[in-house]
Chains A and B, each alone.
Chain A
Amino acid sequence: MFPSYQDFYPYIVTGLALGGVYALSGVGMVVLYRATGVLNLAFGAIGAMGALISWTLINHTSFPDWASYLLCVVFGGLVTFAYGVIFGPPLARRDPLVKATGTLGLTLVLLGLMSYFWPPFGRTMLLPTSTPEYSYHIGFANVDVTWTQIIGLSFGIFVTVAVGAFLRYTKLGTAMRAMANDREITATLGVPVRRVEAVAWLGSGLLAGAAGLLLSDLVGLDPVGLTFLIVSSLAAALIARLRSLTVTLVAGIFVGLATALLTPITGFPSETNYQFSLSSYRGAAPFVIAIITLLFLARRRVVTISRTEG
């Protein structure tokens, strides 16, 4: 049955929280794409592996919890940085498709390692901010809001603003914006191109780790699932045409809300017994949004010429 509007309240909360994290990853992808021309499709896999590492440290060692969470973020930064330093320069002058395909190689490697070290098995990640003592009850909507959800949304907004300011007001940020326009000319002007790129890789990797940690709590600690959550943030980044950070934020929240709000729509009564449940297709929402965006972006184009095509 189609639910009443009150049924949607809890999903507005989860949608906003997810949307914040999607925006966070979206910003990470856009910044990296602008600075290096690489669309990092391994973003989700990196976060997933970081989350698995921190899950292992928490559950199987006496390692302090806060250090494990930190390590997840650091791992994201290190792996992305290493990939960027090793494979960035040799692929720098190839077209964006080849660069993105390279990150698919990284995705395969990470997925293989994850299924080797962490065989399929129900794992749950519960951040300390998700426990009942850190949650608020909103009376009129009868909804519990956890700190993790608040962090998800506010961190997404914070990162968008902070990265925007960084690109606008710092010397390094200016260099990144210049490289987004033209890598060769920027290099000619004396900007250490590779060093700036390395910083971009590291920064976006740290965001990948943070997003992976938050999503493993908000969505679930499933390597393949987290790897393909990339699509939600990718949809946000594409709506922003891989340019605007503000649009990425808004689009990320939109994607999060759209996915979450489909959950209570469990079925429509029909003439036959067959029940069509929109809820079971909610995972498809980001894909549909991304496809529509891509088609919209491509309108009025006749011949495809990319600037970097050789």
Chain B
Amino acid sequence: MGAAGAPGGTRSFWTRGRLSIETPTAVRAVVISALVLFVLLALPPLLSSYWIKVLTSVAIFAVVALGLNLLFGRVGLVSLGQIALLAFGAWAAARLFFLTDLPFPIVLLLSGVLTAVIGVVLGLPALRLSGLYLALITLMFAGLVAIVVPTTNFPNGGSGVLGHTESSSGGLAVRRPQFAGGDAAYFRYTVIVAAIMFLLALAHVASKPGRAWAAIRQSEPAALAAGINITFYKLYAFALASFMTGVAGGLYAGYAEKLYSYQFSGARTIDSVTLLATVLMGGIFSLWGAVIAAVLQQMLPALLQNWFGFFNTNPDFLLVIFGVGLLQVLVTAPEGLVVSVPRDLGFLFRLASRAASRAAGRGNEA
């Protein structure tokens, strides 16, 4: 089926957007690695510790957004429970840090694997639930976690299964890798892990799983007829996205150092919805959309608070912007900012240059 060939004139959400399979051309690879090197080497000395913290959370949430980006954009599955999975990853990582002396990367891997197991268990119903019902069941899961987390609390170095202690002598900080104890070093560490996650995603999208996902997204019966193991590839997508979210959870535990349940409480269930909104706004058909989504969700609030006192006192007003943005994306621009901004800028530029050349032409005649 061609990109525009939807039957009966029905416009599908996915067939409207331009699907870019990121092909790693040499130029692109050079530009991207230069960008990553710039972020790693040049950026930390230029920024204050506040902005380094903000950018660290951007890098962490880029990985979370990447998971949802893959699920929604590549496979057509919507999960509204990604922040709940992030909470689980952070919880697992914090517990592992207090229980064991394992090195940091191993803990990241383990929390990723544990979260992937949860994701697969959650993904099992996805085999049978279509779009809307899957979104609902994951939203329910997010709500459930938001109720359970404040009642059980995050581990802070206490004893027992939950590892939580109310005593003031408790509350150990989650340890960071030895060579990345400071904020700038931890920022570099986070960016490298995030880059690895993006490479992992790219490797999947550009190879066999990516093609299988694309087939499933277009039409499940057709994919089945083509001999694609739908069950396996759907679960695989869930496992991969949850693994990434779990790794991000581990990074988050190290970033926050001390985890509190209010970070993932009922009032923050809406974060999963905000994540979906920003991922859609960023663009789900390109992996870069995940970076834009993280910038929108984590850096925009800080920027607005710096620029406008208004947002300092009303940080939640940003929800209005995200809500409007979500509706705008759904109605007019399904491909998201990552495509529409360059396109619209290009259009503006052509318009301007045409106007300029016309003005110049008139000037010549006169």
Contact = CB atoms under 8 A, between A and B. Distances in A.
B151 interface: yes
A108 B274 contact: yes
A229 to B, nearest CB: 11
Contacts of A109: 319-320, 323-324
Contacts of A299: 128
Contact of A116 (B13, B128, B230, B316): B316
Contact of B323 (A107, A297, A306): A107
Given A115-B316, A299-B128, A310-B12, A98 B330 contact: yes
In the complex, which of the residues A102, A108, A238, A310 has the most CB atoms of chain B within 10 Å of its own CB atom?
A108
A8 interface: no
A112 B319 contact: yes
Interface string A89-106: 011011111101110111
Contacts of B131: 95-97, 304, 306
Contacts of B133: 294, 297-298
A228 B322 CA distance: 18
Interface in A93-138: 93-98, 100-102, 104-113, 115-116
Contacts of A298: 125, 128-129, 133
Contacts of A141: none
Interface string B129-158: 111110111011101100110010000000
B140 A104 contact: no
B128 A304 contact: yes
A234 interface: yes
Given A96-B131, A112-B316, A116-B316, A106 B220 contact: no
A76 to B, nearest CB: 18
For the residues of B in contact with A, the DSSP-based class is: helix
B136 A305 contact: no
B355 to A, nearest CB: 31
Contact of B144 (A102, A284, A304, A305): A284
A158 B115 CA distance: 46
B224 A303 contact: yes
B110 interface: no
A212 to B, nearest CB: 18
Nearest to A272: B160
Interface residues of B, number: 56
Nearest to B160: A274
Contacts of B320: 108-109, 112-113, 116
Nearest to B150: A280
B170 interface: no
A287 B128 contact: no
A304 B274 CA distance: 27
Contacts of A90: 331
A304 B231 CA distance: 11
Contacts of A101: 78, 135, 276, 280, 326, 330
B266 A305 contact: no
B10 interface: yes
B6 interface: yes
Given A97-B131, A295-B125, A310-B11, A111 B140 contact: no
A284 B145 CA distance: 9
Given A87-B327, A108-B323, 5 more contacts: A94-B330, A112-B320, A116-B317, A238-B136, A299-B128
Q: Which 10 A-B pairs have the closest CB atoms?
A: A310-B12, A108-B323, A112-B319, A109-B323, A112-B320, A97-B131, A105-B326, A310-B10, A115-B316, A304-B130
Interface of B: 6-8, 10-13, 15, 78, 125, 128-133, 135-137, 139-141, 143-144, 147-148, 151, 160, 220-221, 224, 230, 266-267, 269-270, 273-274, 276-277, 280, 314, 316-327, 330-331
20 contacts: A91-B331, A95-B12, A95-B131, A97-B132, A100-B135, A101-B276, A102-B326, A102-B330, A104-B273, A107-B323, A111-B270, A111-B319, A224-B266, A224-B270, A225-B266, A280-B151, A284-B147, A302-B128, A305-B130, A306-B130
